[in-house]
Amino acid sequence: MKTLICIKPGEFEYREIDAPLAKPGQSIIKIRRIGICGTDLHAYEGTQPYFEYPRILGHELAGDLVDLDKAPGFAVGDAVTIIPYFNCGHCVACRNGKPNCCVSIKVCGVHVDGGMVEYLSVPSSALIHSDGLSCDQLALVEPLAIGAHAVRRAGVQPDEFVLVIGAGPIGLGVMESARIAGGQVIAMDINEGRLGFCRDRLHLLHVVNAGGEDVMERLRHITRGDMPTVVIDATGSLRAINNAFQYMAHGARYVLVGLQKGDIQFSHPEFHKREATLMSSRNATREDFASVMDAMKKGLIDPTTYITHRVGFDQVKEEFPGWLDPARGVIKAMVEV
């Protein structure tokens, strides 16, 4: 079967390899869609933590079951997506209902080879029914679930101001879930095109260009002097993460979804006097996947509006470098297999 391998930062190579064979407890999926996410882009750049090369990328997936074992309720031919965080089931995190941060987690396309293939073998426990959603929708459940998990971590309450920094696909998912939870969402980015997407497609009332205006003054104006009670970073930029500590209201919660390799630095007195809460949010759980799919079916989220670029599998190697260029206006690139 044909596969696309990231050999090293900045280099892809198409190769023919053997298709996977059925194994106990595993199911085989014929891949139909691959969503390109920040993790894939960072891996290509060489800036992704927890990463080794060579690696087959891809974890935002949709496809059809062609073989299965120990997958009750599923049948050959079913359209499916997957929870791409393969957990051990017995560590302290798994025992406490947090398989998303399993001690020995294997994320598809990061720690183990992913979905830029024709056929992919996955643990049967990772399968999720399509529930009538299209291939495009199914491939976008995972990034939206990451946003849903972050909002659940933050405990967003109706009418509180939620500042989301970073208007890429993950940030947009955070905004959607925060809006559904009843929060007054403030989108922040340095890319005016993405802020325009937030205004026009997500119909957000509050957008802030972090590179083009007095951010502190703008946030005070929007929040009537209080500042946001929830701040969520979806940039993975060390500068943005460090800057955002000053945006918190007293008693605020700050959730880090974006990931980078450096050390966070902030003023302890400023953080302490706010009695602030700092949290990370990693991956998502089956509960988050279910809530996102329910929101899609109810029409509360239309993820297909995020798809700005669409290519065939044979075009990925050529097109991928361009998706790193902000001038291309990429929100979500979708690969058809």
Residue range 109-115: average pLDDT? 95
Q: Kindly report the pTM of this predicted structure.
A: 0.94
Instruction: Note whether 270 and 308 are same-domain residues.
Output: no
Identify whether 269 is preceded by a cis peptide bond (ω within 30 of 0): no
- How many angstroms separate the Cα of 317 from the Cα of each of 113, 299, 322? 17, 34, 10
Q: Tell me the HSE value of 275 on the side-chain side, using a 13 A CA sphere.
A: 1
Regarding whether 308 and 245 lie in a shared domain, the answer is no
pLDDT exceeds 80 at position 199: yes
Has residue 289 been placed in a domain?
no
Do 247 and 321 belong together in one domain? no
Is residue 307 helix, strand or coil? strand
Cα→Cα distances 159→162, 178, 184, 253, Å: 9, 10, 6, 15
Position 50 pLDDT exceeds 80: no
Q: Residue 331's CB: how many other CB atoms inside 10 A?
A: 17
SS3 state of residue 312 = strand
Do 154 and 204 have their domain in common?
yes
Is residue 287 included in any domain, yes or no? no
pLDDT for residue 119: 98
290, part of any domain: no
Task: Indicate if 248 and 309 belong to the same structural domain.
Answer: no
Mean pLDDT of 186-195: 95
Whether residue 111 is found in the same domain as residue 80 = yes
112 and 153 in one domain? no
242: domain range?
A: 147-280
Let me know whether 121 and 203 are in one domain. Answer: no
Is 173 within a domain? yes
**H helix count then E strand count, the chain:** 11, 17
Instruction: Return the HEC string of 101-140.
Output: HCCCCEEECCCECCCCECEEEEEHHHEEECCCCCHHHHHC
Confidence of residue 246 (pLDDT cuts 50, 70, 90): very high
pLDDT > 90: percent of the chain: 92
Residues 52 and 94 in one domain: yes
User: Could you say which of 232, 248, 280 is where a domain stops?
Assistant: 280
Q: Are residues 155 and 261 in the same domain?
A: yes
Give the Cα separation of 152 and 125 in Å (integer).
Answer: 23
Q: Are residues 6 and 134 in the same domain?
A: yes
* Same domain, yes or no: 62 and 156: no
Question: Is 11 a member of any domain?
Answer: yes
Confidence of residue 22 (pLDDT cuts 50, 70, 90): confident
What pLDDT shows up at residue 304? 87
CA distance 247 to 227: 6
- Residue 168 sits in a domain of what CATH number? 3.40.50.720
What confidence tens digit (pLDDT) does each residue in 297-330 have? 999 999 888 999 999 999 999 999 999 998 898 9
Question: Number of structural domains, the chain?
Answer: 2
Residue type for 142, please? E
What pLDDT score does 212 carry?
Answer: 85
**pLDDT tens-digit map of 143-161:** 999 999 999 999 999 999 9
Q: What's the mean per-residue pLDDT of the chain? A: 96
Task: Indicate whether 210 pLDDT > 80.
Answer: yes
Backbone φ, ψ for residue 44 (5° rounding): -65, -35
Residues 162-180 have a mean pLDDT of 96
CATH of the domain at 95: 3.90.180.10
pLDDT in tens, 65-76: 999 999 999 999
More confident residue, 205 or 262: 205
pLDDT at 99 over 80: yes
The whole-angstrom separation of Cα 165 and Cα 175 is 10
Among 237, 260, 83, residue whose Cα is nearest residue 168: 237
Any domain includes 294: no
Identify whether 286 is part of a domain. no
Please check the confidence at residue 112 and state whether its pLDDT lies above 90: yes
What pLDDT is stored for residue 35 in this prediction?
97
pLDDT level of residue 87 (50, 70, 90 thresholds): very high
Q: Is residue 110 part of a domain?
A: yes
